[in-house]
Structure 1
Amino acid sequence: MDYLSTLDPPDGSALPATASSNDDDWGDIVDTDDEYDVVEDVCENITLYWRGVCYPICIGEVIEGRYRIVHKLGHGSFSTVWMAYDMIHNYDVALKVLMLRDEEDRDYQIQTRIIEPGIDRTHLLVYHRSFHLRGLCGYHRVLVFPLKGPNLREYPAKKPLVTRMSFAVQLLQALKSLHEAEIVHADLNTANIMYDLRTLKDLRIAEKYKRFGRPKKMCISVGNFKDGEVVRAAEPDVDLLGDTIVLGDFGLAGKPGIPAVGGQNPPFYCAPERVHGINPSYASDMWSYMCIFFELYTTEKLFNGWHHDRVISSTVDTLGALPLSWKGSRSDGRSCDDTWYDQDRHVSDESALQPRLARLRPDASLREIELVLCVLHRGLSYLPEDRQTATELLEDASFNEFMAICH
């Protein structure tokens, strides 16, 4: 695949996109207050379009003379993502349309580094083309991606164990590639891991809508600029989800030891040193990986709680007291619970790893549980320097014996 980076707004492609002029079926316009509320509740803030922050798009329109918009895939803090059909190469793609921001997009910068020669991108989701669209208040960068499925958070992996553990290996290979490129992901969680999709080749629009759901949309007008639509995201059938995954979303990524701009990864997956003033590292990625590994193996989260305090308490219940040297170094300014650092505190019988694994995987052999415990301890050491690297874990005897049992 050719990778084309367009750093400056190209003359031809930066014009406002043209609307569709054909009579194809492009979804359903909502026409009741209840339907309006449903669409608004799950979509980006409509005022972002009126302020020129978001670029307005309609289902069915053609962007840059080649990308026919088919559906909405989702939105995030800094972009909207659309399913489109590339009419030149005749395949489906995803268009990530960035919102206007004061600074250059960090995700784009990291991806530009990843697509340099010599980096294994097999399990990394990176753009293969970039262009600009002229919006109401400036130019919006658009990144063209291969079309991928939903993420593991939205569609938890209800696959057989052999497939889930294959995901664990693929994710570890993705981390190995990133770390060899001297990049820390810093936001490793299930929302950033996407399924591959089974082929949609030769499907007509109506057939795609049967598999992804019909677009539910509200029309909006952005002054004298152009019309757009706020669209509820597609919900693909589970039988479209493939048996391979990719890691994406590099918005917090950077070099090891450098503060992550924009925050921390979700509490469930956040390494405990990150809450104690220590910057992201390859080792903090490995802690996050182990949380996902446990989740893929058991289908339950390793640590419980919706905020850092509760997750830290759950961590201490599971693994024991935090290092005493961390006491008083809480990076968010919140007070610490002294019991977290009490070196006489014992692991909770209910939360300890071995009995939990036995409860959650009652059909597993004693040897299998023993191997899983070995793997988890490779990456759940409190001291970052004591954790294995991605490369080391891929070569680890216990890890490979466990994977052989699963397969």
Structure 2
Amino acid sequence: MAIVTVAPQSPKGDDTADFGDFVSNEDEELDLEEVVEPWVKYDAKETSHVFYPIRVGEVLNERYLIEHKVGSGGFSTVWMAHDLQEKRDVALKVMSSGDYGEHEVRMQDEIIQTVQDTSHLVTYLATFFLPGNGSRHRVLVFPLMGPCLCSATLRKVTMATRMSAAQQLLRALENLHNAGIVHRDLNERNCMWGMVPTHKLSRSAKYKTLGRPLKQTIPFVDLWKVGELVRPIEVPESLRTEEFYLGDFGIAMKLGDSTVQRGYPPMEFCSPDRLHRKYPSFACDMWSYMVIFSRLYLGFPPFPTYLKGGIISGIVRSLGPLPEDWKGLYTHPGGLDSWYDQNEGPDPNNDLTSTIAYFRPDADPVEREHVHSIMSRVFTYCPEKRLTATQLLQDSSFRAIMERYGC
């Protein structure tokens, strides 16, 4: 695939040449710093996977007008752009330098070719390269999606919407697993609602709806082209749809692959077996899914992270000791011998039953028992004993909860 050139410009033809506001004081700089990627990501002297500098108002690949920022991750920035050819708004995932994006493209192609139903999987529309300063950057073009799963969004949606999202996500995962693909990175940032199209709005109307870009020229780095740190969009409830999606296949793998891309989901979503050197499997995805289900149902994570030892201590407090033969296999520093003490049991004041009752006092005993059954059959240490996506969809307690909330 040929490398394409970039044509930075601010095309005319909109109702205004407005592309947001630069920070005007120290308070705005500090507020911006909290929600954007670290500037050091653009410094080739400090990182081997340098980010590509972008500014609002430029056009990439002679086609995609950058209008706003969607967000950023460890290896990419994501931008809201208007496709000047197709006359629609899209999201551009601009990868850091190196080959990190190549694995995701291969997995995206695998998903497109082998998964029978991709309607709730976020797959790319197009891809191209941008030339960097002695490097190149893969860009993936995606549909523009709505808000990801987060506390701010959960507070605004009904239980019916939450349980519908849980069911849609599980079906998406089932379709992925049926094609032999393990996602490996299920977490709240990779799960998102749909979004009402915005391409018919003027830019000023988009900014009124999504928030004006607050921006700052990337500081402290002698860059080869102008780039900006930009506050991400905030999708209002009025633009959120009821469709729910799973995306980001950066460390996904085909089951049985001899070469496995490095990486884990965030610790609070990672199954304890993966944190003890066990091979990735569908069961790892199911543990991560149940953490997300718990977030949707309870409104909060099922296991605390503030105890000494972090998330594993929270899991052990709720579920009891880890298998004794896992001792010495923990992949991170700070492991505790007490995790494997078979003489200990779950804390009755903080087990699954107590957690469900504490966070959902409004639910009746029958509903709580169904939810406990669902959680306990996936939150089990032995991967082989966890329900599969298909089994959970067919599980009587899961179906009872879905029916209760009209799903």
TM over 0.5: yes
2:394 counterpart letter in structure 1: E
1:384 corresponds to 2:377: no
Which residue number in structure 1 is paired with residue 234 of structure 2?
235
Is this contact kept in 1: 2:218–2:228, CA < 8 A?
yes
Q: Per the alignment, do residues 335 and 95 of structure 1 end up closer, same or farther by CA in structure 2, a change over 3 Å counting?
A: closer
Which residue number in structure 2 is paired with residue 58 of structure 1?
55
1:352 corresponds to 2:348: no
Per-residue deviation at 1:202? 1.7
Distance in 2 (alpha carbons) for counterparts of 1:117 and 1:293 = 26
Distance in 1 (alpha carbons) for counterparts of 2:337 and 2:225 = 57
1:202 corresponds to 2:200: yes
Is this contact kept in 2: 1:165–1:297, CA < 8 A?
yes
Which residue number in structure 2 is paired with residue 16 of structure 1?
6
Distance in 1 (alpha carbons) for counterparts of 2:225 and 2:304 = 46
**Paired residues for 1:102-117 under 5 Å:** 105-117=102-114
Question: TM-score when scaled to structure 1?
Answer: 0.90
3-state SS, counterpart of residue 214 of structure 1: coil
Per-residue deviation at 1:288? 1.1
1:81 counterpart letter in structure 2: V
Is this contact kept in 2: 1:28–1:217, CA < 8 A?
yes
Distance in 1 (alpha carbons) for counterparts of 2:231 and 2:392 = 41
Which residue number in structure 1 is paired with residue 342 of structure 2?
343
Per-residue deviation at 1:386? 0.6
Which 10-residue stretch deviates more, 310-319 or 295-304?
Answer: 310-319
Is this contact kept in 1: 2:147–2:153, CA < 8 A?
no
Residue by residue over 1:337-358, the C-alpha shift from the partner in whole angstroms, topping out at 9 and shown as x without a partner, is 3332222323212112223222
**Paired residues for 1:110-189 under 5 Å:** 110-153=107-150, 155-158=152-155, 159-189=157-187
Distance in 1 (alpha carbons) for counterparts of 2:35 and 2:295 = 26
Q: Per the alignment, do residues 182 and 56 of structure 1 end up closer, same or farther by CA in structure 2, a change over 3 Å counting?
A: same
Residue by residue over 1:278-336, the C-alpha shift from the partner in whole angstroms, topping out at 9 and shown as x without a partner, is 1211001111111111111110110110589322222122112222222232233x464
Which residue number in structure 2 is paired with residue 3 of structure 1?
none
3-state SS, counterpart of residue 392 of structure 2: helix
Residue by residue over 1:7-30, the C-alpha shift from the partner in whole angstroms, topping out at 9 and shown as x without a partner, is x125xxx01223114351111122
Q: Per the alignment, do residues 381 and 117 of structure 1 end up closer, same or farther by CA in structure 2, a change over 3 Å counting?
A: closer
Is this contact kept in 1: 2:6–2:59, CA < 8 A?
no
Distance in 2 (alpha carbons) for counterparts of 1:295 and 1:188 = 13
Structure 2 runs not aligned, ≥5 long: none
3-state SS, counterpart of residue 226 of structure 1: coil
Is this contact kept in 1: 2:151–2:299, CA < 8 A?
no
1:403 corresponds to 2:393: no
Q: Per the alignment, do residues 63 and 302 of structure 1 end up closer, same or farther by CA in structure 2, a change over 3 Å counting?
A: same
Which 10-residue stretch deviates more, 93-102 or 383-392?
Answer: 93-102
- Number of residue pairs aligned between Structure 1 and Structure 2: 396
1:75 corresponds to 2:107: no
Which residue number in structure 2 is paired with residue 303 of structure 1?
303
1:253 counterpart letter in structure 2: A
Which 10-residue stretch deviates more, 119-128 or 140-149?
Answer: 119-128
Structure 1 runs not aligned, ≥5 long: 1-7
3-state SS, counterpart of residue 26 of structure 1: coil
How large is the RMSD of aligned CA atoms in angstroms? 2.4
Which residue number in structure 1 is paired with residue 95 of structure 2?
98
Residue by residue over 1:85-135, the C-alpha shift from the partner in whole angstroms, topping out at 9 and shown as x without a partner, is 112222110011111125553222211211115532111111110111222
Is this contact kept in 1: 2:82–2:199, CA < 8 A?
no
Per-residue deviation at 1:62? 2.1
3-state SS, counterpart of residue 384 of structure 2: helix
3-state SS, counterpart of residue 272 of structure 1: coil
Q: Could you tell me the percent identity over the aligned residues? A: 42
Distance in 2 (alpha carbons) for counterparts of 1:237 and 1:246 = 18
Which residue number in structure 1 is paired with residue 313 of structure 2?
313
3-state SS, counterpart of residue 374 of structure 2: helix
Per-residue deviation at 1:225? 4.7
Per-residue deviation at 1:47? 4.5
Structure 2 residue corresponding to 1:43, chosen from 36, 40, 63: 36
**Paired residues for 1:220-369 under 5 Å:** 220=218, 225-256=224-255, 261-305=261-305, 309-332=309-332, 334=333, 336-369=335-368
Is this contact kept in 1: 2:115–2:175, CA < 8 A?
no
Is this contact kept in 1: 2:101–2:138, CA < 8 A?
no
Q: Per the alignment, do residues 365 and 99 of structure 1 end up closer, same or farther by CA in structure 2, a change over 3 Å counting?
A: same
Per-residue deviation at 1:156? 4.0
Distance in 2 (alpha carbons) for counterparts of 1:276 and 1:57 = 40
Distance in 2 (alpha carbons) for counterparts of 1:307 and 1:143 = 39
1:185 counterpart letter in structure 2: H
Q: Per the alignment, do residues 223 and 328 of structure 1 end up closer, same or farther by CA in structure 2, a change over 3 Å counting?
A: closer
Q: Per the alignment, do residues 361 and 50 of structure 1 end up closer, same or farther by CA in structure 2, a change over 3 Å counting?
A: closer
Is this contact kept in 2: 1:16–1:135, CA < 8 A?
no
Question: TM-score when scaled to structure 2?
Answer: 0.90
Distance in 2 (alpha carbons) for counterparts of 1:361 and 1:326 = 33
Distance in 2 (alpha carbons) for counterparts of 1:34 and 1:105 = 39
Is this contact kept in 1: 2:303–2:311, CA < 8 A?
yes
Which 10-residue stretch deviates more, 254-263 or 163-172?
Answer: 254-263
Is this contact kept in 1: 2:154–2:299, CA < 8 A?
yes
